[in-house]
Amino acid sequence: MSKVTVVGAGNVGATVANVLAFNEVADEVVMLDVKEGVSEGKAMDMMQTAQLLGFDTTVVGCTNDYEKTAGSDVIVITSGIPRKPGMTREELIGVNAGIVKSVAQSALKYSPNAILVVISNPMDTMTYLALKSLGLPKNRIIGMGGALDSSRFKYYLSQAIGCNANEVEGMVIGGHSDTTMLPLARLATYKGLPITQFLSDQQIDEVVKATMVGGATLTGLLGTSAWYAPGAAGSLVVESILHNQKKMIPCSVALEGEYGENDICIGVPVILGRNGVEKIIELPLNADELAKFKASAVATHNTNAALKTVGAL
């Protein structure tokens, strides 16, 4: 019997739960929210699609009743306020740090062996907060950001090439930030061939820039943070863990010397399996890529320092 808890039944959390249910990733998905009736109503709505879509996962909603989350294999944290137009992910830190810390502690009380997947923004810093405050081994704390950013990168690449997005490979590492993420264009491929065979340098630059502001673009259009792709990315991470798929997915994880970094959670490719982070993959970055990764790490360290300013650490 596999069980996943999703804390936060807003747009992203509900999408995570919906995708998990539709793909039958877990036997049971519990959505928990502070607002009475929201998780219960969304869970009921989802369950009324079961006979239409043909899935057998049970979706349950509850209001602040962490006891119902007991025995979860994975806990997904989406709690916190979303971005508004013009707002950076970093500006959310003061409010979301307290929320993330509190809900993680409450959920782990009933599921002490669970693996934690953090989606709340600023994601790298919230993942670092979980690492420093919860006492869990580093393999059980995973930030989702790179999975989402890589999906956006592959979308923009496929649009530029004019091809099926499922035939494009590419990844984004570094911080989950509009200004410091690092789409690895040099390593991106279409059906195994370098994208340089299909796109000009100018087109590649445009794809990289579009990827980096992909979240902000959607926030500007929607008036709030996106949810379909973030929710699906969260589900992808959970599925690789719960089904022991050993997929290589860029995620924000704790580094201890890898890429020359320490005391940080930042996006790098990892192998995800039943133990959470099974292995960190060190890519052969060139001098330019390594310099950009280092700059991203410095920015992430600076954001993490705000945790002490707001009293979260």
135: left (phi over 0), alpha (psi -120 to 50) or beta: left
Residue with tokens 């992909």: 214
The 10 Å CB-count burial string (b at 16+, else e) for 243-268 is beeebebbbbbbbeeebebeebbbbb
| Among 139, 66, 129, CA closest to 97 | 129
> Catalytic residue at 301?
no
Cα distance between residue 136 and residue 144, in whole Å: 17
Cα distance between residue 207 and residue 219, in whole Å: 18
Cα distance between residue 95 and residue 81, in whole Å: 8
Q: Of these residues, 57, 176, 182, 303, which one is catalytic?
A: 176
Element (H, E) at 230: helix 228-242
Here the tokens at position 230 are 């973030």
What positions carry a catalytic annotation? 176
